[in-house]
């Protein structure tokens, strides 16, 4: 792996983040390295796909993932339903490992339209968007995982070249953004349904946002270029959050710097601030370490010895990772790993318990496969298409 390749990756992500609408809240996609000797080729592929990740792709098709074997779990403790699969050298299906956290739903609505799962509204309802064309939402809906009922919340109408993105839910509302001429406008609609209305601001919001959250009657958001702000849900003054002028929202109330984009290989979210309590945290980074990405409690990265690791932010309890966690750990504990050939596919790995569940994804006849990877986001939803279904996983139920 060359420094030039690393720089290319960072530049592509940075340019895409500055010019593209925010990826819909949900599952980001990336290619995960299968082996250190294939890492340069993998990073080249990630570079090519970075725009799709930032611009809003839920999944991507990748080819030639290799045939290296990989550990399926860290200190695994198989349950009875996992025993047969374990004997065959693979984890049990994810719905068997965590039956209370997984649903399979039709990949199309009753009228035949495709959709994209975005986030959880509550413990049994998810927010969906339907598209008029690729990545251009024309409506948002509430889907009841218990009954399968679908209810339209609102139509979304945007001018040509303008996309709705960055969805957040809270306090009985759905909020999202549109970016036009490098200015962000926020929109809101009651979860019960209605006509979307723009949230008025006292001054233009320059640049796109990379994360948002609804909290205490306000919309909190961070800019791609850095800085955290709040805005009353009913409109009003855009107010900078004290001490967070360079920060990005990680998982509210935690904000940090640098954010996801680190052009000089800085550790992502090295410094954290809890904007409600004032607590701060700076992650320990050792000489020679690269691609360090930190969550609220845990960091992952590549050591000077080229081995992948995860550990607490203070540097303690370091352990080796089975594979590269390209986007960090979701909720400081979850990552997707590639399964060994000839079966291939991916599994969701819980580093806290050591359990892993087969996601059911397999390469096609040409070697192509959907590849998914949870990241540092605070979104509890993991979703991906599988045949004529969508698999829905609630990380908070695991």
DSSP annotation of 276 reads: T
How long a stretch of residues is the chain? 398
pLDDT at 204 over 70: yes
pLDDT at 67 over 70: no
pTM: 0.81
Query: Nearest Cα to 271, choosing from 262, 284, 261?
Result: 284
pLDDT in tens, 298-341: 999 999 999 999 999 999 999 999 999 989 999 999 999 999 98
Percent of residues, the chain, with pLDDT higher than 70: 78
Cα separation of 81 and 321, whole Å?
Answer: 25
Phi, psi for 18 (deg, rounded to 5): -75, -30
Cα separation of 101 and 83, whole Å?
Answer: 20
Helix (H), strand (E), coil (C) string for 45-77: HHHHHHHHHHHCCCCEEECCCCCCCCCCCCCCC
3-state secondary structure of 395: helix
The listed range with the strongest mean pLDDT (75-79, 329-333, 369-373) is: 329-333
Q: Which helix (H) or strand (E) holds 15?
A: helix 3-19
**Mean local confidence (pLDDT), 183-204:** 97
What is the pLDDT at residue 112?
92
Q: Of the ranges 5-19, 160-174, 239-253, which one carries the lowest mean pLDDT score? A: 5-19
3-state secondary structure of 3: helix
Cα separation of 44 and 61, whole Å?
Answer: 15
What is the pLDDT at residue 1?
44
Phi-psi region of 161 (alpha: psi -120 to 50; beta: other; left: phi over 0): left
**Mean local confidence (pLDDT), 226-245:** 97
pLDDT at 216 over 90: yes
Q: Of the ranges 69-83, 166-180, 228-242, which one carries the lowest mean pLDDT score? A: 69-83
pLDDT in tens, 20-35: 444 333 333 333 333 3
What is the pLDDT at residue 5?
40
Phi-psi region of 240 (alpha: psi -120 to 50; beta: other; left: phi over 0): beta
Dihedral through CA 387, CA 24, CA 43, CA 344, nearest 10? -20
Distance from the Cα of residue 147 to its chain's centroid: 27
The CATH number of the structural domain formed by 3-397 is 2.130.10
Q: Which helix (H) or strand (E) holds 93?
A: none
pLDDT in tens, 273-300: 999 999 999 999 999 999 999 999 999 9
- For residues 386 and 75, the model is more confident at 386
Strand 218-223 to 209-215 pairing? antiparallel
C-alpha torsion sign, points 382, 385, 391, 392: positive
**Mean local confidence (pLDDT), 224-239:** 97
Strand 183-190 to 173-180 pairing? antiparallel
3-state secondary structure of 26: coil
pLDDT at 77 over 80: no
Cα separation of 251 and 69, whole Å?
Answer: 34
What is the pLDDT at residue 79?
53
Sheet arrangement for strand 319-320? 290-294, 298-302, 308-312, 319-320
Phi, psi for 91 (deg, rounded to 5): -75, 160
Task: Give residue 45's pLDDT band: very low, low, confident or very high (50, 70, 90).
Answer: very low
3-state secondary structure of 340: coil
């Amino acid at each position: 792996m060359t420094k030039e390749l690393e720089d290319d990756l960072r530049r592509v992500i940075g340019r895409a983040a500055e010019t593209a609408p925010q990826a819909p809240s949900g599952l980001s996609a990336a290619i995960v390295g299968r082996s250190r000797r294939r890492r340069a080729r993998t990073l080249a592929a990630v570079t090519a796909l970075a725009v799709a990740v930032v611009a809003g792709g839920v999944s991507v098709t990748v080819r030639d993932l290799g045939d290296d074997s990989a550990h399926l779990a860290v200190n695994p403790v198989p349950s009875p339903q996992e025993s047969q699969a374990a004997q065959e050298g693979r984890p049990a299906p994810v719905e068997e490992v965590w039956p209370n956290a997984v649903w399979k739903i039709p990949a199309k609505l009753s009228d035949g339209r495709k959709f994209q799962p975005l986030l959880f509204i509550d413990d049994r309802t998810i927010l969906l968007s339907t598209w008029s064309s690729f990545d251009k939402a024309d409506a948002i809906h509430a889907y009841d995982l218990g009954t399968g009922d679908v209810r339209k919340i609102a139509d979304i109408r945007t001018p040509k070249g303008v996309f709705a993105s960055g969805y957040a839910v809270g306090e009985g509302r759905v909020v999202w953004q549109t970016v036009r001429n490098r200015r962000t406008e926020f929109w809101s609609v009651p979860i019960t349904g209605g006509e979307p209305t723009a949230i008025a601001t006292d001054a233009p919001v320059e640049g796109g946002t990379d994360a948002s959250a609804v909290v205490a009657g306000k919309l909190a958001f961070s800019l791609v270029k850095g800085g955290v702000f709040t805005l009353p849900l009913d409109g009003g003054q855009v107010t900078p959050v004290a001490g967070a002028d360079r920060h990005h929202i990680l998982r509210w109330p935690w904000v940090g710097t640098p954010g996801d984009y680190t052009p000089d290989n800085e550790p992502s979210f090295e410094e954290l601030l809890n904007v409600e309590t004032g607590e701060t945290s700076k992650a320990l980074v050792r000489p020679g370490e690269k691609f360090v990405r930190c969550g609220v409690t845990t960091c992952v990265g590549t050591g000077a010895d080229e081995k992948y690791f995860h550990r607490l932010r203070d540097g303690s309890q370091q352990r080796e990772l089975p594979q590269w966690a390209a986007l960090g750990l979701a909720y400081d504990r979850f990552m997707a790993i590639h399964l060994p050939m000839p079966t291939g596919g991916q599994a969701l790995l819980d580093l806290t318990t050591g359990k892993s569940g087969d996601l059911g994804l397999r390469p096609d006849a040409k070697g192509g496969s959907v590849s998914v990877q949870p990241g540092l986001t605070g979104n509890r939803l993991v979703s991906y298409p599988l045949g004529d279904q969508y698999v829905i996983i609630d990380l908070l139920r695991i």
